[in-house]
């Protein structure tokens, strides 16, 4: 196979996914207007993810995160004997 054809076949799925995401976001913009995206912390799982943030919500700031608070909350249910 030609090297250019192999490169095109490798890049094709990424190009299709990018075009699909751009069309999806454009259609969302036309129906809902400008969106505010940010990092949100899920306390149940202890993970963060990027999502749309509502008008009254604050985005998650990693600088304000105290790991000792998260570790203490998850360790309260366990009996740690060393």
Same domain, 28 and 54: no
Which residue range is the domain that position 70 belongs to? Answer: 36-82
> What pLDDT shows up at residue 27?
93
Answer positive or negative: Cα dihedral of 58, 52, 62, 77.
Answer: positive
**Domain count for the chain:** 2
pLDDT at position 19, please?
Answer: 98
pTM assigned to the model: 0.51
- Per-residue pLDDT tens digits of the chain, which is 82 residues long: 899 999 999 999 999 999 999 999 999 889 888 878 878 778 788 888 887 777 766 666 667 766 666 555 554 555 545 4
**Helices (DSSP H) in 33-82: which residue ranges?**
67-75
Q: Are 32 and 26 in contact (CB under 8 A)?
A: no
pLDDT of residue 43: 79
| Domain match, 48 and 60 both | yes
């Amino acid at each position: 196979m030609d090297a250019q054809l192999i490169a095109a076949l490798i890049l094709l799925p990424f190009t299709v996914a990018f075009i699909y995401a751009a069309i999806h976001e454009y259609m969302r913009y036309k129906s809902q207007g400008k969106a505010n995206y940010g990092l949100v912390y899920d306390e149940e799982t202890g993970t963060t993810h990027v999502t749309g943030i509502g008008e009254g919500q604050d985005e998650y700031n990693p600088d304000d995160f105290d790991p000792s608070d998260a570790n203490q909350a998850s360790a309260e249910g366990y009996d740690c004997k060393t």
